[in-house]
Structure 1
Amino acid sequence: MALLEEALQQGADLLGGCPYTDSLPEKQIDTLFELASRYDVNLDFHLDFDLDSRNMLLPYVIKITEKYNYQQRVTVGHVTKLSTLPQDELMVIAEKMALAGVHLTALPSTDLFLMGREFDHNIPRGIAPLMSLVKAGVNCSISSNNIENPFTPYGDCSQVRQANLYANVAQLATKKELEQCLKWVSSDSAKLMRLVDYGLNVNMPADAVFFPVDNRAEIVATIQSPSLGIKNGKVTFTRSDALMYPP
């Protein structure tokens, strides 16, 4: 705790924890909330990362979020236990998450690679059911946990690719569903990060990425690469489509 406090005193602006690896997981959650509240920083937890629906820590995080009035400032990642719940039980906890303002991030590359290794058939996907959570009012996002390490041994850092992967796993295919997948790696992620100046509007930073598509759903459906990026109004990169030559 002393080292965490020293980091906060030196300017760290976010606290993270991994309670399921702690012998006293609830104590870790309590400690991090106390520090976060004292130094006014947001919280991120890697949470409930297995396929056993027992002993979920998410209800405790929701409870302590409400205790500290930390709505919209807490994010939980993975939470693969949610994928094991029947729909009625899932919606009960989803509604509690929404009321407490607890966000959730799914990490499809890591979750798919690690979950279900104890099975030799009917292997479960083991990824948090974002669409059901969103219907209950939970703000969600998709991201990548690591790149080229033992937990996620491959990848290229493309969040569009992660959105496409999630769409495949969750069997999302309509235009509206694919647009939601894109929101999970863009505008909904911005809400999670409390970015008040996100978007294309007057007096906002001129930060944008452009894709050569007819609609947002196509970006996810085709894993489209961006053709132009700007930062603070300045072009930072351009990309031309590869030329196709006859054999």
Structure 2
Amino acid sequence: MTRKLSALALGAALMASTALAATAASAQSVQQTPVSSTIQMIQTQPSLNLAASGEVRVAPDMATVTFGVVTEAPTAQAAMAQNAERMNAVSAALRRAGVAERDIQTSGLNLQAQYDYQENQPPKLRGYQASDRVTVRVMDLTKTGATVDAVVAAGVNQIDGVAFGLKDPSAAENEARRLAVKALQAKAQLYAEALGVQLGGIRSLNEGGGYTPQPPMPMYAMRAGAMAADSTPVSGGELSVKIDVTGVYDIDR
């Protein structure tokens, strides 16, 4: 009886071991089964990325003149006093010429010691130089030459330059914008025709450029007391106002 029970127990153990092995093999088979995946490519709509410009040339209607008074004296106090006296006379001359106070701006004030140099000798103080720079806007372009003559007669002995500009550049900028967009549209249409495709709508539009005030240009060398009998001739010429645009157009196939 005892032998029979032992044989039964051994058979049960073998069956349990076989079942566990089959379960483990099945689990391993499940883990090793590859997972399928799908990658989708996103195709963007073709487009044209183009640039164009619009330029308008207009006559200036104002001028900016930069000038100065330079004085020298044995002492710093004397140099500054002489400079202030001349600048007061220049300010009075500007008012008589019709220049408004808001159009006069001090753009530089300087005081420097002046030395004489000789070989093998230490520098020797000669005195002091005071300079005062003023920037003036002349809102009536026809009075630019007369204004220059007036300040020279009042004591100005240096003229740095004159620049021409626009009081309100918005009209010229808007016209340049219209020309730039028109040129951009024409270029886009030309490319579409050359490619044999249909031009779609514009996706984006960016702007650059615009009116930039002109930097002062050297006018002429002016010596103290030098003045022509007639008003100094000043010609404004033309100014360029340019707008740059870039745009992205869709292409319909």
**Looking at CA atoms only, which structure, 1 or 2, has the larger radius of gyration?**
2
Q: TM-score scaled by structure 2?
A: 0.20
Q: TM-score scaled by structure 1?
A: 0.21
Higher strand share: 2
